[in-house]
Amino acid sequence: MTRTAQRPLLFLDVDGPLIPFGATPRPHPTYGTAAGTPGAGANPLLTRIDPRHGPRLAALPCELVWATTWMEDANAWIAPRIGLPPLPVVHWPEPSEAVGAAGQEDRDERDGLHWKTRALVARAAGRPFVWVDDEITDTDRAWVSAHRPGPALLHRVDPPRGLADSDYTALDAWLRRMTDGA
């Protein structure tokens, strides 16, 4: 097994963690982009992405994976803005048309389970993982705790603020416990 395969996964959402949004007492800061940066001018929300996130994320002892509806666009528009290489992308399952599966999706929605939760646990395939998102709830934490025997950290980010120093501190501490204990 390679060193990368043994490292925990960090599933990263874009909207909320990297692109702050929502109510805030003052306007969100904006960051300029270099000429030729993919997506420059295409989406005004991209200017909210702090380029310092890239080095901070890259320094974490984990394998980064996009877990966002941006899908491959995260590699085209987000990664270059923050200096990350292309990352693996979670490909979300299509809403199932199989009998029973659609019923499960309806029950999950009714119970408040995030639509990403089951897919991320499956994608982790037993590896320790962190999920960074602004929509994580106690329902997701309880489900993961009950259905996954291995370590997992579901880390909710405040969407108007986005990833902050305290988030990086918490993520780094948890990930180092996982890698130091391996």
Q: Distance (Å, rounded) from C-alpha 20 to C-alpha 15?
A: 7
Backbone φ and ψ for 63, nearest 5 degrees, come out as: -100, 120
- Looking at residue 35, what is its pLDDT? 52
Among 170, 175, 64, smallest CA distance to 128 is for 175
Q: Which helix (H) or strand (E) holds 105?
A: helix 101-111
Answer yes or no: are the C-beta atoms of 161 and 20 closer than 8 Å.
yes
Q: Show the beta-strand stretches assigned E in 48-108.
A: 63-66
Reduce the DSSP state of residue 2 to 3 states and report it.
coil
Answer yes or no: are the C-beta atoms of 90 and 123 closer than 8 Å.
yes
DSSP assignment string, 140-180? HHHHHHHH--S-EEEEE--TTT-S-HHHHHHHHHHHHHHHH
Answer yes or no: are the C-beta atoms of 131 and 67 closer than 8 Å.
yes
- Looking at residue 1, what is its pLDDT? 42
- Looking at residue 43, what is its pLDDT? 81
- Looking at residue 108, what is its pLDDT? 62
Counting DSSP H helices and E strands in the chain, the numbers are: 8, 4
Q: Which two tokens stand for residue 101?
A: 């599966």
Tens-binned pLDDT, residue by residue, of the chain (182 aa) = 444 447 999 999 999 999 998 876 566 777 766 555 555 566 888 999 999 999 999 999 999 999 999 999 999 999 999 999 999 999 998 765 444 555 666 666 667 799 999 999 999 999 999 999 999 999 999 999 999 889 999 999 999 999 999 999 999 999 999 998 65
Residue 118 pairs with which residues in a beta bridge? Answer: none
Q: Distance (Å, rounded) from C-alpha 136 to C-alpha 132?
A: 8
Q: Which two tokens stand for residue 88?
A: 């693996």
Q: Distance (Å, rounded) from C-alpha 108 to C-alpha 4?
A: 32
